[in-house]
């Protein structure tokens, strides 16, 4: 055997070509290890600690480092690593599939309503939101991060069209407003760091529970607070299963977070999934729809069907607004 062949086949990596392959294999291993931590938490149905919750939000994008790692394994001829990478790709493809129940109501339709939810980023997007509301003419408007000036503007500009409202006043990100064309009865909202008002709407003679969602985001060191506030939303969703429910807002969570999936496990359905748009990004607006994650949702109980889910690009806010048309069906 000549020297060149010995250098190519030497498994110890001491030859010139083996020495070149070793760093490539290490790059693949590092990529796979990072992805494996996130995928492992997803498999274990837990959100873990920073940076796992933040990375889980972008789970589909983990296909990119996994694919890059596979290319490194092929270049390094590291076949064990190739098996590792293929396994990760399979798990990612499995978890990217939509989560939650679907199905059509069995009762006849009794009412239609249009819902719009928007995070206006400390009130900065209020003007653009008002224009969108006048254009889209929703029946219900869920507004997050609507601080004092935003609240005043909505009262001034939209009071005639939306005479019924529930609000939690606050500065910065703490204020929230729920506007309605339908009469509203006061209902206990969900306690949280940011306002989450609730109400019961009279939709054509049918009571519909409304709850605005805006839990804290999973900031480093505050994951427990994020999980706790999502847990309160889950408890609110499960509190009255006999009344049709709309739970909408900025959840600061996607279907890849275990805490959000627990809300869907109560029987609520994501309206965007019912309309085939469950992976359309809503945040950050600057890079959506090319890159981002859907953390703004309209969740509905089994009495609703959904269609025409669409995403609006509003000026001066980092979230896209979500509009969806719902049909309420009678229970059989």
Q: 9-18, 161-170, 243-252, 261-270: lowest mean pLDDT where? A: 9-18
Q: Are 142 and 249 in contact (CB under 8 A)?
A: yes
Give pTM, 2 decimals: 0.92
Q: What are the DSSP E strand ranges found in the chain?
A: 109-119, 140-144, 164-168, 176-180, 184-187, 198-203, 206-213, 245-250, 269-270, 296-300, 304-312, 321-329
What confidence tier does 208 reach under pLDDT thresholds 50, 70, 90? very high
- 243/200 Cα distance (integer angstroms): 10
Q: What are phi and psi of 112, to 5 degrees?
A: -120, 145
Beta bridge partners of 324: 115
Distance of alpha carbon 291 from alpha carbon 62, whole angstroms: 12
30: number of Cβ within 10 Å: 13
Q: Would you place residue 6 in the very low, low, confident or very high pLDDT band (cuts 50, 70, 90)?
A: very low
SS3 (DSSP) at 323:
strand
- Bigger pLDDT: 297 vs 15: 297
Confidence band for 9, pLDDT divided at 50, 70 and 90? very low
3-state DSSP helix/strand/coil % of the chain, to nearest 5: 40, 25, 40
- Range 307-327 average pLDDT: 98
Residues 267 and 303: their CA atoms lie apart, in Å, by 11
Residue 202 near residue 182, CB atoms below 8 Å: yes
| CA 322/CA 142 separation, integer angstroms | 10
Q: In what order do the strands lie in the sheet with 269-270?
A: 184-187, 198-203, 206-213, 245-250, 296-300, 269-270
Q: Rounded mean pLDDT of the chain? A: 93
In CATH, what number does 109-329 get? Answer: 3.60.10.10
**Ordered DSSP codes for 194-217:** S---EEEEEETTEEEEEEEE-PPP
Please, what sign has the CA dihedral across residues 89, 93, 96, 101? negative
| 190-207 tens-digit pLDDT | 999 999 999 999 999 999
For 258-290, the pLDDT digits (tens) are 999 999 999 999 999 999 999 999 999 999 999
Name the residue among 156, 23, 142 with its Cα closest to residue 78: 23
Measured CA angle at 278 (ends 141, 202), to 5 deg = 30
Q: Which residues pair with 184 in a beta bridge?
A: 201
Torsion of CA 283, 288, 289, 293, to 10 degrees: -30
More confident residue, 249 or 8: 249
**Residue 123: is its pLDDT beyond 90?**
yes
Burial of 120 by CB count in 10 Å (0-12 exposed, 13-18 middle, 19+ buried)?
A: buried
pLDDT confidence of 7, banded at 50, 70, 90? very low
User: How many degrees, rounded to 5, is the angle at CA 175 between CA 270 and CA 201?
Assistant: 50
Paired tokens of 256: 């890849």
Give the pLDDT confidence of 25-69 residue by residue, as tens digits: 999 999 999 999 999 999 999 999 999 999 999 999 999 999 999
- Report domain extents, the chain: 3-96, 109-329
SS3 161: coil
pLDDT tens, position by position, 89-106:
999 999 999 998 888 898
Taking alpha carbons only, the member of 118, 122, 129, 119 closest to residue 315 is 129
Question: What is the model's pLDDT at position 20?
Answer: 64
Q: Tens of pLDDT along 141-177? A: 999 999 999 999 999 999 999 999 999 999 999 999 9
From 4-8, 111-115, 299-303, the region with the lowest mean pLDDT:
4-8
């Amino acid at each position: 055997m000549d020297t060149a062949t010995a250098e190519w086949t030497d498994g110890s990596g001491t030859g010139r070509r083996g020495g070149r392959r070793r760093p490539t294999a290490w790059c693949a291993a590092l990529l796979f290890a990072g992805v494996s931590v996130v995928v492992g938490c997803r498999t274990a149905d837990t959100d873990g600690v920073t940076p796992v919750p933040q990375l889980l939000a972008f789970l589909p994008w983990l296909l990119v480092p996994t694919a890059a790692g596979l290319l490194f394994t092929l270049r390094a001829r590291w076949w064990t690593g190739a098996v590792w990478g293929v396994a990760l790709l399979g798990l990612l493809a499995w978890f990217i599939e939509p989560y939650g129940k679907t199905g059509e109501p069995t009762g006849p339709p009794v009412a239609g309503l249009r819902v719009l939810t928007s995070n206006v980023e400390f009130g900065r997007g209020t003007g653009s939101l008002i224009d969108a509301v006048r254009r889209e003419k929703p029946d219900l408007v869920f507004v997050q991060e609507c601080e004092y000036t935003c609240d005043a503007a909505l009262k001034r500009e939209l009071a005639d069209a939306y005479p019924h409202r529930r609000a939690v006043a606050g500065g910065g990100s703490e204020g929230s407003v729920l506007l309605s064309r339908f009469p509203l009865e006061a209902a206990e909202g969900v306690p949280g760091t940011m306002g989450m008002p609730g109400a019961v709407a009279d939709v054509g003679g049918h009571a519909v529970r409304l709850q605005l969602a805006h839990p804290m985001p999973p900031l480093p060191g505050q994951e427990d607070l994020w999980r706790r506030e999502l847990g309160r939303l889950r408890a609110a969703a499960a509190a009255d299963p006999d009344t049709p429910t709309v739970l909408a807002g900025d959840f600061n969570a996607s279907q890849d977070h275990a805490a959000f999936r627990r809300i869907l496990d109560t029987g609520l359905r994501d309206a965007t999934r019912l309309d085939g748009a469950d992976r359309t990004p809503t945040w950050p607006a600057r890079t959506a729809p090319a890159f981002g994650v859907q953390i703004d949702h309209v969740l509905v109980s089994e009495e609703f069907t959904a269609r025409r889910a669409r995403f609006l690009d509003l000026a001066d806010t980092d979230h896209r607004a979500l509009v969806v048309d719902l049909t309420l069906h009678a229970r059989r």
